[in-house]
Structure formats: C-alpha cells, structure tokens
Chain A
C-alpha cells in the first residue's frame, strides 16, 4: 500500500476563515512533507516533519501552521489566507530509512484550495 490520503480534495475559503487540510499515511513512513504547487509550476517545499518533529520550514508565512499529531497524520492549519495562496497543496511521505531509497516520496492527490 503506497497510499497517501488527503482531505478535502477541494476547499474554498474566505480570507477571514480558519480551515485545516489533512493528510494520512499508513506505510510507516517517518518523514512527511507539505508542498504548494501553483499552476504550471513544480511543487515548492513548505514544511518537512521527521519523526513527528518539524525539521524544515521554508520561510513559510505564519498564516500556514503545520501539525503532526502522530506518525501517520499531518495537518496544515490555515488562517487569514490571501487570494495568492490559492494553489494545489500536496502532502507526501517517505521512509526516511538508511540509503537513497529513504527519500522516495509518495504523494497524495492534493487539496485544491481557492481563497476568495
């Protein structure tokens, strides 16, 4: 099973709303990622969790707040977003084991976020 599940698939939110994106994997992977992807661009790394601890924050604005409640779950809390934050948000996980295959990332289908 190489499945990463993201919910919701689509989300429309106002600039004053608070919402959360959810991601779940049951592959025993120890690294989990959030990426943002704008149209016709490659995914851009936002956050990395390693063994449930935040290891990388790519200078993401504080209106995005990640959370890793346990090794299978990853959330992205959204508050006071701007229209330019509209994008496809992708979650991924990788084994983080020894050797190069530890970085093979498996992606969810993404959440299409529209901020109005």
Chain B
C-alpha cells in the first residue's frame, strides 16, 4: 500500500509568515493533487501536478512536484488567516485503479 506522509502534522504561525508543507511517498505517482478543507466542508481542489520537477503557482501558493514524482511540496508566502485549514495531498495509489488516497494531512492555523 502506498502511503502519503505529510509534514508537519500541525502548524501554527503568525500572519505574514511563510511556510512549507511536504508530501512524501516511497512510490511514484503519475500525478498528485492538493486540497484544502475547512471544518465541516468537503476538500476543495487547489492544483494538480503532473510532470517531475513541475512548479505551479496559485497566487501566494507555490506547488512543486519532485523530480522522481515521489514527493511534493506546498509553499505559502505571507500567510493570511484565510489560509487556515487542513491541507491534503492526494493521488491514485496505482495507475488505472482509481484507488484515490489522501495524505495524512497538515492542519494550518494562521493567527492574526
């Protein structure tokens, strides 16, 4: 079973600080998605990364896919209280299976 390990598990920072969340696996993924989830709501898709080494930007969020497609990172610049939430990476456990699994999650709290 492929596992997606995220670190850190919890992060509490002040508004304006930068942070990076990591998503690591021992297996290769054809693509990874990142989601943000707020309490009591469903996860919302932020981005899909596909190509090894790919970097995607979404406003203050920068996503990177590792060269070997086994890991990914999410960097937030100048965090704001609205960034608070649970960040999840996700991917298909084995290509073509549609066994779509989530990482262990990173709970972010940004203090005003």
Contact = CB atoms under 8 A, between A and B. Distances in A.
Interface in B54-106: 86, 88, 90-92, 97-105
Interface stretch (A13-21, A74-82, A98-106): A98-106
Given A103-B33, A104-B33, A109 B98 contact: no
A104 B92 CA distance: 9
A45 B99 contact: yes
Interface of A is mostly: strand
Interface residues of A, number: 31
Interface residues of B, number: 27
Contacts of A56: 97-99
Contacts of A106: 45
Given A40-B107, A42-B88, A100-B50, A107 B101 contact: no
Interface string A74-116: 0000000000000010101010100011011111111010000
Contact of A100 (B30, B88, B99, B105): B30
Interface of A: 2, 4, 6, 31, 33, 40-45, 48, 50, 55-56, 88, 90, 92, 94, 96, 100-101, 103-110, 112
12 contacts: A42-B104, A44-B102, A48-B98, A48-B100, A88-B40, A100-B48, A101-B48, A103-B92, A103-B98, A104-B33, A107-B44, A110-B41
